[in-house]
Amino acid sequence: MNMKINLSLLTLALSAVWADDGGWHTDEDKLLATPGPCTIEVRDAEDLTQEEFLSRYAFSQPVVIKGATDNSAFINDCKREVMLKKYGAKVIRLSSANTYSYRKVDVTLDKYVQEIMKPQTLGMLGNETFYWFGDNNYTEWQELFDKYIPPPYSLPGLTGVYSFGLAGAGTGVPFHFHGPGFGEVIYGRKRWFMLPPEKTPHFHPNRTTLQWLYEDYPELHPLDGPLECTINQGELIYFPDRWWHGTLNIDTSVFISTFLG
Ligand SMILES: *[C@@H]1O[C@H](CO)[C@@H](O)[C@H](O)[C@H]1NC(C)=O
Ligand SMILES: *[C@@H]1O[C@H](CO)[C@@H](O)[C@H](O)[C@H]1NC(C)=O
Ligand SMILES: *[C@@H]1O[C@H](CO)[C@@H](O)[C@H](O)[C@H]1NC(C)=O
């Protein structure tokens, strides 16, 4: 009897951890990227005030923040079935997943999901991989964006602009930098690699983060290694102004960034 109860509790707990991929399933054998260690500070939003965010992180270092918002309404609309039904016919703009030369392609969301979005293989180059992140037409995506509760931290005088994305397992953007902001994972897991502005990483702008992980990362001297952390559903990462970062989606992932400018 006890055993039975324990087993069903265990099943319940495990399904809470694993089950909700929102329908964005990836076959286990297609997963080439793995989560790594977390060397970025991790904080609970409950214990992190806006004041401390400003003094400790905003201008000086990245931070992972747990439990900042309850985005369940938004998360529900990002399920595969819901997105295809509501928005499948919408035209989205894909970017090539390399550092500089962003080639763009317009396709319907339906075509992207059914035909283009695939787990990344090691042989594919970044400039030849198409990826949906950003270039979102705010008028067309307003209904969805209105449901998103943004990170409850801010930088003086700056406002947020959203970039929404959906991409296959193993995809990501190689090292680059821009202004400050937040990234949040809606489904899947995303591994972030970060370096301060003065520590330019060594990377080829057309190779993928996955190729970098397999070929360059193991060779790094410990002192040259980036800070890193894998972000799970509902977690935020803050990237300060001009910090280098490369991203890697472990699973088929849905994500949104709030760029501050
Ligand atoms: C992608 O980048 C590689 C290496 O830089 C280059 O050889 C190749 O021609 C590029 N592919 C396209 C489609 O531009
Ligand atoms: C990267 O690929 C683009 C085209 O996709 C090409 O124009 C550029 O020369 C490549 N860069 C390098 C460093 O090979
Ligand atoms: C955004 O979408 C609206 C409605 O479909 C359209 O009228 C507008 O031209 C689009 N804007 C851009 C910049 O593409």
* Tens digit of each residue's pLDDT (9 = 90 or more) over 140-198: 999 999 999 999 999 999 999 999 999 999 999 999 999 999 999 999 999 999 999 99
pLDDT at 12: 47
pLDDT at 15: 45
Tell the residue number behind the tokens 């904080």, with chain if given. Answer: 43
Render pLDDT for 98-111 as a digit per residue (tens, 0 to 9): 888 678 999 999 99
| Alpha carbons 122 and 208: distance in angstroms, whole number | 8
Query: In ligand 3, which atom is closest to the CA atom of 138?
Result: 1
Calculate how far, in angstroms, residue 138's C-alpha sits from the geometric centre of ligand 3: 8
- Residue 12 CB partners (closer than 8 Å, separation 6+): none
Cβ–Cβ under 8 Å, residues 52 and 43: no
Render pLDDT for 200-209 as a digit per residue (tens, 0 to 9): 998 998 999 9
Nearest Cα to Cα of residue 240 among 40, 7, 37:
40
Calculate how far, in angstroms, residue 74's C-alpha sits from the geometric centre of ligand 3: 22
- Residue 36 CB partners (closer than 8 Å, separation 6+): 191, 228, 230
Which residue of 206, 208, 212 sits with most ligand 1 atoms within 8 Å of its CB, as the best mutation to test the pocket? 206
- pLDDT of residue 11 exceeding 50, the answer is no
Phi-psi region of 223 (alpha: psi -120 to 50; beta: other; left: phi over 0): alpha
* Residue 17: C-alpha distances to residues 21, 45, 249 (Å): 10, 20, 18
**DSSP one-letter code for 205:** T
Give the closest residue (by CA) to ligand 2 atom 1: 206
- Residue 41 CB partners (closer than 8 Å, separation 6+): 57, 61, 62, 63, 64
pTM of the complete model: 0.90
> Which amino acid, one-letter code, is at 13?
A
Q: What is the mean pLDDT of residues 26-51?
A: 96
- For ligand 3, is residue 140 a contact (CB within 6 Å)? yes
Calculate how far, in angstroms, residue 15's C-alpha sits from the geometric centre of ligand 2: 44
Which residues face 167 on adjacent strands? 253
Nearest Cα to Cα of residue 255 among 242, 229, 236, 239:
236
Cβ–Cβ under 8 Å, residues 175 and 193: yes
Q: What is the mean pLDDT of residues 118-134?
A: 93
